[in-house]
Amino acid sequence: MAKGGFLGSLRESQAWKSIFRHGPPNNTRNRVLVVLMNVFLHLHPIRMKKSGVRMSFTWCMGGITFFLFLVETVTGVLLMFYYRPTADYAYADIIALREHVPIGVMREVHRWGAHAMVISVWLHMFRVFLTGSYKPPREFNWGVGVILLVLTLLLSFTGYLLPWDQLAIWAITVGSNMARATPFLGNEGPGASLINMLMGFDVVHAGSDARFALLAGRLVGEATLLRFYVLHCIFIPLAASVLMAIHFWRVRKDGGISGPL
Amino acid sequence: MPAPSFPEAPEGISRRVFLSWLTVGWAGFIGALGAGLTAVGRLFFPNITFEPPQQFKAGFPTEYAVNKVDERFKKKYGVWMVRNERGIYVLSTVCTHLGCTPNWLEAEAKFKCPCHGSGYYATGINFEGPAPRPLERFKISLSPDGQIMVDKTQKYQYEKGQWSDPNAFLEIA
């Protein structure tokens, strides 16, 4: 047997060497390579300041938010094995998850995780503001973060309709009324009457405005449920994932986590 | 040692021609991309929605009792038909606060919204709760067969002085 017993011979094997193309991380160069050669780790800085791992400085809120996003992804995919986004089945499937699906309590984890994620993302933003981490050269990453905040809120909003109970339907009815007031694109928004006047007929009306595109109708209905389901499960998580990769990578590119002033 | 020689540009295409074709190519690409994205945007506006029509016939004027709020079209079309001594008007069931659907309370003679407590008189005028303005009215007319015709695409707002519009009220002699 090779030097170092089983682990040693494993490290010498062709399979191991094809995956890890550097030696064990027992010197500075190899420790750098561990980070650089891994597609996930390379988004992070190779080394960081002592203050960067101090809980009292970062509150770990960005990390907690990312962890909660992973929790939401895993539990969300599990829920998708049971949930059908139609007017006939949606509510019944939600009840089924609670009543007779093994560990269907997963839905509660998904729900509480979502609430926690909204809170932690706000606290992360608050911390970044308090520590001045939005200042040059980090302005761009602040902008990416603001979009991620909006996406988090949209995930929360689209997910709220899916249980398809009275609370959900009326909350989305009320919430989506804001889209009526979109400038130029909402039928009650500023500029809409100007467009209609210039065109000579009603271009922007309740059947053609931003709210209509969001709800797939003038009212919250089955088409809205399907639209929100696709946004909630595919479109927004995908957009958030791409932006998160940029967000983490830019932390590294902008000089790591900001230090105390 | 011979001086390094740089190859001549291939004949037949000059830098100027190349750049102009490049411009044409990019313009075409951006145009096609824009057209494609516009088409995709159109996908979000279906030609048919499975909602009740915006215009509908609401029966004959004689079917409505005087000084009554009629709820027969509330669920399907989202309107109340209200008959007073002079005629009929059509009220929207959308609360002007945040868009919930109020309930007509016969005993208290008012519309009361369950979401945040806005209250309206039978006329649609708001008098309690957070509602910022009265309920909207819709266009009402008589069709040639003598039935009432309601058109929800045309709305009349009290605060804009539109309730005095002849189409906002069906006078019954």
ipTM of the complex: 0.76
SS3 category, B76: helix
Give residue limits of the domains in chain A.
Answer: 61-252
Instruction: State whether B49 and A217 contact (CB < 8 Å).
Output: yes
Instruction: State whether B100 and A174 contact (CB < 8 Å).
Output: yes
The tokens describing B27, both together, are 């313009």
What's the CATH superfamily of A61-252? Answer: Cytochrome Bc1 Complex; Chain C (1.20.810.10)
| Chain B neighbors of A207, CB-CB under 8 A | 49, 54, 153
Mean pLDDT in chain A? Answer: 92
- pTM for this entry: 0.86
Q: What are phi and psi of B90, to 5 degrees?
A: -110, 120
> How many A-B residue pairs are in contact by the CB < 8 A criterion?
36
Residues found in chain B: 173
How close is the nearest chain A Cα to the Cα of B14, in Å?
Answer: 40
The tokens describing B93, both together, are 């069931």
The tokens describing B33, both together, are 């991309």
CB-based contact A89:A82 (threshold 8 Å):
no
pLDDT at B9 over 80: no
* Contact A216/B at CB under 8 A: yes
Q: For B25-68, how does the pLDDT look when each residue is reduced to its tens digit (9 = 90+)?
A: 999 999 999 999 999 999 999 988 888 999 999 999 999 999 99
The conformation of residue A231, written as its DSSP 8-state character, comes to I
Distance CA A89, CA A70 (A): 27
* Contact A28/B at CB under 8 A: no
Residue B6: per-residue pLDDT = 67
Burial of A253 per CB tally in 10 Å (0-12, 13-18, 19+): middle
| Chain A neighbors of B98, CB-CB under 8 A | 174, 177
How close is the nearest chain B Cα to the Cα of A170, in Å?
Answer: 7
Give the closest residue to A67 by CA, choosing from A21, A29, A144, A120: A120
Residue with token string 């998904």: A110
Percent of chain B with pLDDT over 90: 84
- Identify each DSSP E strand in B93-164 by its residue range: 103-105, 110-112, 119-120, 126-128, 137-142, 148-156
Average pLDDT over residues B82-87: 94
Residue A1: per-residue pLDDT = 46
Residue A24: per-residue pLDDT = 86
The tokens describing B106, both together, are 């016969």
Q: For A25-60, how does the pLDDT look when each residue is reduced to its tens digit (9 = 90+)?
A: 899 999 999 999 999 998 888 888 888 888 888 899
Contacts of B157 (CB under 8 A, 6+ apart): B133, B134, B136, B137, B163
| Chain A neighbors of B115, CB-CB under 8 A | 170, 174
- The sign one gets for the Cα dihedral A212, A217, A221, A226 is negative
The CATH number fitting domain B55-171, selected from 2.60.40.650, 2.40.128.50, 3.30.420.40, 2.102.10.10: 2.102.10.10
Average pLDDT over residues A167-184: 93
Q: Dihedral (C-alpha) A69, A74, A76, A78: value to the nearest 10 degrees?
A: -170
The residue in chain A having the minimum alpha-carbon distance to the alpha carbon of residue B42 is A213
Q: For A78-100, how does the pLDDT look when each residue is reduced to its tens digit (9 = 90+)?
A: 999 999 999 999 999 999 999 99
Q: What are phi and psi of B50, to 5 degrees?
A: -90, 50
Give residue limits of the domains in chain B.
Answer: 12-49, 55-171
* Contact A80/B at CB under 8 A: no
Average pLDDT over residues B92-108: 94
Distance CA A232, CA A1 (A): 54
Residues on B contacting A at a C-beta cutoff of 8 Å = 44-46, 49-51, 54, 78, 98-100, 115, 153
